[in-house]
Amino acid sequence: MVEEKSDNEVSAQRTPAWTVPTGRRTDEWSECLVHIGKSQDRAAFTRFFRHFAPLIKAFALAGSSLSATHADELVQEVMLKVWQKAGGFNPEKAAASTWIYTIARNCRTDMFRRLQKFDTQLAAEDLSIEVEGEEPFAVLHNRRGSDRVRDLMGQLPPDQAQILAKVYMEGKSHSEAALELDLPLGTVKSRVRLAIQKLQVQMDRQ
């Protein structure tokens, strides 16, 4: 423990290496994550932890389905995965927040299944789809889409934001969200559709 503390103090005094300008648009936490992956820097990791752990805990407690103890356990699992997987993080393909969201989502799904004694050989991660490094255009497209979603999220009308929170943060299916909000399923689906339009998510696949 003592060693980590001193590590931490040192970092406060020096210019963090992850702020080196790269000429491409990126965010602080993605840079931090890349740095953790490259240098196994515990101070950078601690910084990352202090920012994201409280958000992961909020995610764990959303929908109040996990106890505080389980929520802390989830925070630990997610953060250990962050440390282990940081080397594979590519800031050109995904924002740090999306990357950690998928880890948290998978860990929470597996924790639910463990708690319910649901016996499956498939870990959530097995069914998770990695963001692919295809043509540069697609990567850029996703990156722009990601920035746009973050910019526009604050402008969503409350009724649409509420549904997305149910689905993404509480992990409810569309029909569970409909039941809990006492709305027809069709209303939930149309709000989801409107939210996707507002966030300018391009879903055209024809």
Partner 1 sequence: MAMANHHPSNDFLMEHAAGTLPVAQAACISAHMNYCDRCRRAHDQMQNIGGAMLERMQPVPVAESVLEVVLARLNDPEPLRHQTAKAAVALPALLSRIINGDFSQLVWKRITRSLSISYLSTGDRDYEFALYRIAAGGRIPEHRHSGSEMTLVLEGGFSDSKGSYHPGDFIYRVADEKHAPVALDGEDCICLAVLDAPLRFTGWNYRWLNPFLQLRAS
Q: Which of residues 61-120 bind partner 1 (CB under 8 A)?
A: 61-62, 71-72, 75-76, 79-80, 83-84, 94-102, 104-106, 108-109, 118-120
Residues between 17 and 36 with contacts to partner 1, criterion CB under 8 A: none
Least Cα distance to 77 among 98, 97, 113, 105 occurs for 105
Q: Helices 28-39 and 96-115: crossing angle, nearest 10°? A: 70
Q: Which of these, 142, 15, 54, 21, lies nearest to 31 by C-alpha position?
A: 21
For the segment 153-182, give every residue that binds partner 1 (CB under 8 A): 153-154, 164-165, 167-169, 171-174, 176
Taking the complex as a whole, the smallest distance from the CB of residue 184 to partner 1 amounts, in Å, to 15
136-155 residues in contact with partner 1 (CB under 8 A) are: 138, 141-142, 145-146, 149-150, 153-154
DSSP 126-166: HHPPPPP---HHHHHHHHHHHHHHHHHHTTS-HHHHHHHII
Q: Which is nearer to partner 1, 18 or 178 (CB)?
A: 178
Comparison of 4 and 159: residue with beta carbon closer to partner 1: 4
